[in-house]
Structure 1
Amino acid sequence: MKIFKKRGEMTHFQILSEISKQEPHLRQKDIAERLGITVQAVSENIKTLIEERYITSKDGRAPYKITQKGISKVKKDAISLRKYSDDVLETMNYYKSIWPAIATEDLKEGENVGLFMEEGLLYAGKSKQSANAEVLCDVKKGEDVPLSSLSGLIDLKVGQVIIVTVPTIKQGGSRNADLELIKSLYTSDFKKWGIEKIDRFGAMGTVSRSVANKLSIPVDIEFAISSSSISAAKKGLNVLILVVGDMAKGIIRRLEDDGIKYNVVDAHK
């Protein structure tokens, strides 16, 4: 894992996390017991963290205080660790013994069916596909069907994300947004990026919701925009999202981390 590649980086992260709790009487012995390491190891790591200006201390002794640099490091490492964990959990999901899909027709127990993705959902039917599975019980068309013994690869083209930035309320909000541009991006202009259609529409922030209301565009995604957009794109869906001001920076960073193709359009008048 990249953030813990260097020896001791995980220990640094754990010690900084403990110190960040701002317990007034936190001792090296307390940290050692919580982390399951020796007091000497804690002492050596704290010395390094002080030298690197992640924490401050008088004469290398408690109380310890985490610096702004240390806070930034903990946040960055925690986000990276969470992303790594999410990726591992997502990978582990591929090893489930039973998978659900939507039946495109009546299916019988024991039948071998083809699998394909459509509108972000997994479907199972009798048509030949590059991925196959075994049906575990009789189901009717449109029902969720339990599957096992998956084999092959599901054909899936990763979707794209279009980020449209709109003015903040201090910049005039929806009144200074280029509504015609946004409407054209939603209805047809996305084709210039090789996108066939917009599958999901998101609005981040009050101004974005106001713009969507003015254009009578139904909002599919309103919360956890970054995670939802990435998840949708990975399932083959194309997403257009309205974002207020600098909020786009965080979303762009997440998209780049996950290798999702995106385009940014300024919709200020």
Structure 2
Amino acid sequence: MADVLSDKRSATRFRILVEIADRQPAVSQGEIADAVGVTTQAVSEYIRELTEEGLVEKEGRSRYRITKEGVDWLLRTADDVRRYADRVTEDVLGSVQEDAAIATGDISQGDTVTLDMREGLLHATPGEEGPATGVATTDAAAGEDVGVTGFEGIIDLAPGSVTVYQVPPVRSGGSNEVALDELAAEASRANLVLAAGVEAVVALRKTDTEPATTFAVGDVAADAASRGLEVVVVATADAVGRVTDPLRDAGATYEVVDL
């Protein structure tokens, strides 16, 4: 869950900063109190804290302005909220739609099942044992696909991350310049390994690792991370931008590392 949604105080702090940014520089604490649903005294205390932390600056009586640091914090936090909302939109249960899951045991139509995500795929376990449940619409043996509807609860899914390892282009030595032991170790820890560029593919093959795909790598990595997977992308330096652009657009957590 986004940190700002972890408790009421954090959420109120976020909302008040948004209201200040929207109303600056003439800020009516009474109007903010009405908008947020707290007392004027509480708004005054929050503004004092935000000012002390350098997120808001006071320009005069009832005149406040959000600082550059405040804007940066607000953008980062809003992005966290957006990513969380996107995940909830995809994974929150409670609609009447039917979805498919992998049965972890024998299931009969009408059984209540517990739902969870494993390796990016929805799984259904016989019985009501977790925070997310549904009702089977088909019969299935363990390992088969089973239809599920009547969703209730929220699937606990922590977003994964992507590490992009740069490989020099062939004109600069290519795969011969890669620390293969380090690459092998990083690839072995990942849920999914992808490659962008010939030099990257060759480097992985030198570690006896075959990438899952070499096409649309950035999009695949972003989707996998959104499903909770830890992804390693090995990319030729010339191809890194084509990988990171989709990751950035999707709001995925990633870092770029030289090998």
1:111 aligned partner, one-letter code: D
Q: Does 1:140 align with 2:173?
A: no
Which residue of the partner structure matches residue 191 of structure 2?
Answer: 199
Which residue of the partner structure matches residue 12 of structure 2?
Answer: none
Aligned to 2:236, which of 244, 263, 266?
244
C-alpha separation between the residues in 2 aligned to 1:254 and 1:99?
Answer: 27
The 5 Å alignment of 1:20-31 reads none
Q: 1:217 to 1:257 in 2, by over 3 A?
A: same
Which residue of the partner structure matches residue 166 of structure 1?
Answer: 167
- Matched residue of 1:217: which SS? coil
User: Which consecutive unaligned segments of at least 5 residues does structure 2 have?
Assistant: 1-85
Report how far residue 254 of structure 1 moved.
2.1
Q: Is the 8 A contact 1:204 1:223 kept in 2?
A: yes
Q: 1:165 to 1:142 in 2, by over 3 A?
A: same
C-alpha separation between the residues in 1 aligned to 2:247 and 2:184?
Answer: 23
Q: Is the 8 A contact 1:111 1:134 kept in 2?
A: yes
C-alpha separation between the residues in 1 aligned to 2:116 and 2:175?
Answer: 40
Which residue of the partner structure matches residue 152 of structure 2?
Answer: 151
The 5 Å alignment of 1:39-58 reads none
The 5 Å alignment of 1:13-24 reads none
- Matched residue of 1:215: which SS? coil
Which residue of the partner structure matches residue 180 of structure 1?
Answer: 181
User: Which consecutive unaligned segments of at least 5 residues does structure 1 have?
Assistant: 1-86, 188-196
Q: Is the 8 A contact 1:200 1:221 kept in 2?
A: no
1:177 aligned partner, one-letter code: V
Q: Does 1:213 align with 2:213?
A: no
Identity of aligned residues (%): 30
C-alpha separation between the residues in 1 aligned to 2:105 and 2:192?
Answer: 26
Q: After TM superposition, where is structure 1 displaced by more than 4 Å over at least 4 residues in a row?
A: 90-96
Which residue of the partner structure matches residue 56 of structure 1?
Answer: none
RMSD: 2.2
Which residue of the partner structure matches residue 123 of structure 2?
Answer: 123
Report how far residue 261 of structure 1 moved.
1.2
Q: Does 1:99 align with 2:99?
A: yes
Q: 1:199 to 1:252 in 2, by over 3 A?
A: same
The 5 Å alignment of 1:35-114 reads 97-114=97-114
TM-score (normalizing by structure 1): 0.59
Report how far residue 92 of structure 1 moved.
11
C-alpha separation between the residues in 1 aligned to 2:151 and 2:130?
Answer: 12
C-alpha separation between the residues in 2 aligned to 1:92 and 1:162?
Answer: 24
C-alpha separation between the residues in 2 aligned to 1:185 and 1:235?
Answer: 20
Q: 1:139 to 1:185 in 2, by over 3 A?
A: closer
Report how far residue 213 of structure 1 moved.
1.1
